[in-house]
């Protein structure tokens, strides 16, 4: 899971660099390890401006260096949450990747993870292509460069910045999972794999006179500025071109049947105010809470939640059950999401300074504590103890997703079942481990129906979701 953002000026746009930095900051929840921007002036084929570094957007893109993007007419950016690649800390792993090709400089920002990266890497290396990292994102960049080289003689006298055909060739050689932004000197492309595994949307920034100011592609619609409109979500298997001339769909592969949109986007990753598959994420999470309450029969005094992404599910649970919602935990907003920290030691340290208990709310109360998921169990064990120490009479955990039992090979950093508490322990054992009075999860059917209920109200989306981390049923064969 990463955040990708691209923007191209429709005409004169003096603040394109600011819009790009702000857009990337709005996707900070999708990755906190590193950030980067790459920009083109729209004219020079063999030069780009680059800002990259480890840390949050605010630390990497500063007042001192943002001026490097002055005069750029196209900018793409990336927030990294590392999955594939052992050398995760190297600056050469920070995206967007830049490669020099036969037609000029190409930059790529990738969200997802290739399930067959090992095989593809071997193929590329045996063709004599050197790789500077072991990330699958660089692998995609080199495959695009190869496709450009093979077709460059056929482009004589043609639009040199147009690499639609080369991208289509590359797509046909890739397996899931990817959403991509690929930038040439005068345009960029938004690309989604035929399974639709990772979200990607397109919007238009509107100027004061009502004309287009810029065109945007983003992992989530929450990154669109206030004066922008969401145009559409990139279809599975589609290539969309964004340039100063506008937005157009230039290629459509046959979407996979069924689709395999990551259902965990709704559970945890996406921001509440984003729209995915034509529905607001907030609404889906509330529906999950309502469904969970219908599957439950607990008696309690209050419903609380683990801030922040489980708030919607807690509101839905309280609404359906009739039990009053009360905030019971305070989250320190200056601490990152512990789940997406790259190792267990950093996750543990984050938990200790992340939450505080609202003691007056919990004393002598039977609490239904709602969270969106339990992955490793470390956070929940600490929180239950904190609530009991503050005087809670009972703590009943209600998880607004099914147990995570299987690793993800498509972009979530859960590499082995040994890290997953639900894969190692039964629900009674989990209850004992975290110290709760009871533990109950939303069923798989309940989650799927809650997600697809809103999609059925539209005509533009065909429901189909990846539940592999919950069921072990992967959309494609996984070669370990």
Matching residue, tokens 């400089």: 105
222 belongs to an annotated ligand binding site: no
For residues 340 and 408, give the distance between their C-alpha atoms in angstroms, rounded to a whole number. Answer: 14
Q: Tell me the β-bridge partners of 312.
A: none
For residues 378 and 46, give the distance between their C-alpha atoms in angstroms, rounded to a whole number. Answer: 49
262 belongs to an annotated ligand binding site: yes
Residue 87 has what pLDDT?
47
Reduced to 3 states, what is the DSSP secondary structure of residue 318?
Answer: helix
For residues 421 and 400, give the distance between their C-alpha atoms in angstroms, rounded to a whole number. Answer: 16
Nearest to 406, CA basis, from 393, 395, 384, 421: 421
Is residue 2 among the annotated active site residues?
yes
Q: What is the sign, positive or negative, of the torsion defined by CA atoms of 446, 451, 457, 460?
A: negative
Residues 6+ away with beta carbon under 8 Å from 106:
98, 99, 100, 141, 144, 145, 148, 163, 182, 183, 184
Q: What are phi and psi of 165, to 5 degrees?
A: -65, -40
179 belongs to an annotated ligand binding site: no
Q: Over the stretch 372-417, which tens digit does the pLDDT of each residue have?
A: 999 888 889 989 999 999 999 999 999 999 999 999 999 887 757 8
Residue 85 has what pLDDT?
47
Alpha helices (runs of H) in 70-215, residue ranges in sequence order: 117-126, 136-151, 164-173
- The class that CATH gives domain 3-257 is alpha beta
Q: Regarding beta strands 438-441 and 394-399, do their DSSP bridges make them parallel or antiparallel, or are they unpaired?
A: parallel
Q: In what helix (H) or strand (E) does residue 351 lie, and over which residues does it extend?
A: helix 344-354
For residues 98 and 78, give the distance between their C-alpha atoms in angstroms, rounded to a whole number. Answer: 12
288 belongs to an annotated ligand binding site: no
408 belongs to an annotated ligand binding site: yes
Q: How many residues does the chain have?
A: 480
For residues 378 and 392, give the distance between their C-alpha atoms in angstroms, rounded to a whole number. Answer: 20
469 belongs to an annotated ligand binding site: yes
Identified catalytic residue from 2, 93, 201, 431: 2
Delimit the domains of the chain by residue range.
3-257, 275-448
Residue 354 has what pLDDT?
86
Locate 331 and state its tokens: 């989250």
Nearest to 124, CA basis, from 106, 111, 141: 141
Residues 6+ away with beta carbon under 8 Å from 437:
394, 395, 396, 431
Low-confidence ranges of the chain (pLDDT < 50): 85-87
The CATH classification number of 275-448 equals 3.40.50.2020
209 belongs to an annotated ligand binding site: no
């Amino acid at each position: 899971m990463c955040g990708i953002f691209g923007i191209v000026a429709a005409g004169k746009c003096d603040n394109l660099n600011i819009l790009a930095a702000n857009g990337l900051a709005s996707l900070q929840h999708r990755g906190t390890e590193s950030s980067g921007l790459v920009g083109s002036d729209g004219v020079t084929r063999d030069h780009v401006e680059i800002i990259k570094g480890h840390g949050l957007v605010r630390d990497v893109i500063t007042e001192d260096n943002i001026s490097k993007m002055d005069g750029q007419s196209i900018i793409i950016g990336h927030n990294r949450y590392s999955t594939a690649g052992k050398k995760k800390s190297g600056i050469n792993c920070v995206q967007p990747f830049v490669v020099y090709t036969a037609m000029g400089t190409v930059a790529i920002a990738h969200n997802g993870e290739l399930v067959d990266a090992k095989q593809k890497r071997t193929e590329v290396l045996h063709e004599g292509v050197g790789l500077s990292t072991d990330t699958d994102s660089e692998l995609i960049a080199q495959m695009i460069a190869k496709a450009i080289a093979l077709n460059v003689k056929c482009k004589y006298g043609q639009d040199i910045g147009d690499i639609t055909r080369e991208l289509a060739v590359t797509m046909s050689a890739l397996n899931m999972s990817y959403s991509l932004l690929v930038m040439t000197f005068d345009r960029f492309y938004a690309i989604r794999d035929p399974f639709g595994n990772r979200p990607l949307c397109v919007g238009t920034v509107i100027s004061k006179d009502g004309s287009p100011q810029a065109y945007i592609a983003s992992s989530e619609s929450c990154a669109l500025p206030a004066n922008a409109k969401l145009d559409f979500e990139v279809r599975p298997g589609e290539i969309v071109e964004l340039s100063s001339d506008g937005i157009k769909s230039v290629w459509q592969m046959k979407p996979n049947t069924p689709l395999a949109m990551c259902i965990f986007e709704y559970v945890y990753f996406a921001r509440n105010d984003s729209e995915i598959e034509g529905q607001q994420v907030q609404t889906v999470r509330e529906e999950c809470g309502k469904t969970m309450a219908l599957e439950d029969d607990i008696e309690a005094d209050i419903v609380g939640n683990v801030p922040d992404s489980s708030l919607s599910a807690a509101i839905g649970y309280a609404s359906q059950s009739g039990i009053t919602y009360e905030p019971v935990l305070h989250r320190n907003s200056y601490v990152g999401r512990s789940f997406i920290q790259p190792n267990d030691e950093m996750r543990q340290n984050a938990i200790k300074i992340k939450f505080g208990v609202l003691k007056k709310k919990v004393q002598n109360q039977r609490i239904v504590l709602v969270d969106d998921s339990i992955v490793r169990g470390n956070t929940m064990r600490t929180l239950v103890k904190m609530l009991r120490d503050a005087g809670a009479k009972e703590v009943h955990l209600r998880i607004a997703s099914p147990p995570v039992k299987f690793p993800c090979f498509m972009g979530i950093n859960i590499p082995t079942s040994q890290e997953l508490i639900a894969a190692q322990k039964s629900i009674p054992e989990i209850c004992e481990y975290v110290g709760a009075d009871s533990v109950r999860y939303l069923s798989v059917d309940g989650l799927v129906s809650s997600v697809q209920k809103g999609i059925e109200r539209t005509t533009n989306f065909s429901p189909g979701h990846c539940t592999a981390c919950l069921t072990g049923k992967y959309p494609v064969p996984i070669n370990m």
